[in-house]
Amino acid sequence: MTNDYGLRSSKPRLKALGFGYLAFALLLTLACLSLATQETAAYFSYAPELGHPWGGAWGRVWYAPWKIITWSTWWEHEAIHRAVSHGQMLFVFPQILAFGYIIATARKLKGRSDLHGSAHWATEDEIRETGLLGGKGVYIGSWVKRCTGWEAFWRMLNGRQIESQLFLRHDGPEHILGYAPTGSGKGVGFIRPTLVSYPDSAVVLDIKGENWAYSSGWRKSQGHKTFRFDPSDPSGKSACINVLEEVRLSTLSAIPDVQNIATMIVDPEGKGLQDHWSKAGFAFIAGALLHCLVMVRHSQKRTAALHDLGNMLADKSKTIEQLFQEMLTTEHAKLVAECFPSGATGGEQIHTFIASSAREMLNKAANESSGVVSTALVNLALYRDPVVALNTSRSDFKIHDLMNSETPVTLYLVISPADINRLRPLLRLILNLIISRI
């Protein structure tokens, strides 16, 4: 059974050991024969009777290694026997060492060296194999390389330190999770170095706005478009994001677009539509949202925002039943065609979708209908805040620009810690749209 967990080990295989031993034994045999041959030839002063040598090198005359076999069959002489004994001894002792190594290695192969875990400090080769020393991507750490040997000596001669810090950076498609306690240096160690070196677009969840302060200037200097979205900023300096501008009103995609937004409005915690009121509220908000988009685009020549939807549902000039009738009888297909004279598709389907939502509400009992509307209004209460309404009334960029703009775009989502719980539904809505579109 393969080992699916732990670090991969680089144990030699038994077959590789066998081939290695055969090569070693062959070379050792030739060396021992050559030793015996040369010792015998030297004793007899390289006499012509020994036969023709291969040649000369390093001040010696060299014979074929296997000549000792021929000579031992031709002559009986003490010098020949002594040379053969020397060759045999040279052959035996390395064999003992080789067999000892093979036995020890075989035991390791059969055992579990990682029985108590395989974790260890990475070696330089292992670090380089990860590809984290490429010098590009997200900073994930650093490694101090200590030079040794001639490299260390050469550095010392040149007045350089023998230790050098190399940064580990990840530039692959995999996700990265940095997990550490508060105040342990995640921002200083990972995020800020990345933001002042990463050349592409980025979305930054920037609690307290520190990353904007530290990195936006550098990114602007590199030609990036930078946007700071703070929905609780009353000064008017915040970038604006209107999620309804992502609805493709002139196409059939308008219906799934508003359904996705309606789901996130009714389910701000991401727990799913778990009860009747949430499910009914989702169906109603999707239709009302599409009706609001068509009416505002036709009458005011702009894209509706979420505060427009809240105002429409709580309009004191008409009852909720009158709104349902308006949704049912308005010729939405005609209005969509007038809003997009260059061509629009899906107008009839948009009208059917809105009218069906209105008819569903009219068919409900008064108490149930009132409960559904209340569910919708509760989830839209955030957008009636004048400051939030100001900062979500338009969009200074499209989500499409984050990946497809001619110049990189960096979006900083700056949320005050005091407002993070209140603004969580809006933040989740924006992040979900970004993830689904890119």
DSSP of 264-276: HHH-TTSS---SH
pLDDT for position 4:
53
User: In Å, what is the CA distance from 164 to each residue of 110, 142, 159, 375, 395?
Assistant: 40, 10, 13, 61, 47
Residue type, 114: D
CB 278 within 8 A of CB 267: yes
pLDDT band at 359 (very low <50, low <70, confident <90, very high): very high
Residues 6+ apart with CB under 8 A from 263: 273, 282
Nearest Cα residue to 243 out of 431, 1, 422? 431
- Domain boundaries, given as residue ranges, for the chain: 14-110, 123-176, 243-394
At 293, list the tokens: 């988009």
Averaged over 344-352, what is the pLDDT?
91
Overall average pLDDT of the 31-39 stretch: 79
b/e sequence 405-431, b meaning 16+ C-beta within 10 Å: eeebbbbbbbbeeebeebbebbbebbe
- pLDDT of 31: 82
**90 compared with 244, residue with greater pLDDT:** 244
Secondary structure (3-state) at 155: helix
Q: How far is CA 92 from CA 43, 146, 395, in A?
A: 24, 42, 85
Number of alpha carbons in the 13 Å side-chain half-sphere of residue 38 = 16
pLDDT at 1: 43
Q: What is the mean pLDDT of the chain?
A: 86
Confidence (pLDDT) at 391: 96
On the 0-12 / 13-18 / 19+ scale of CB atoms within 10 A, 358 is buried
Task: Supply 15's token pair.
Answer: 């077959």
pTM of the model as a whole:
0.71
Asked whether the predicted pLDDT for residue 5 surpasses 70, the reply is no
Tokens of 323: 């709104």
Angle at 366 between CA 362 and CA 368, to 5 degrees: 90
- How many angstroms separate the CA atoms of 412 and 181, rounded? 23
Alpha helices in 12-77 (DSSP H): 14-43, 67-74
pLDDT tens profile 226-246: 999 999 999 999 999 999 999
Residue with tokens 């919708």: 376
Quick one: pLDDT band at residue 154, thresholds 50, 70, 90?
Answer: confident
- Alpha-carbon span 403 to 398, nearest angstrom: 10
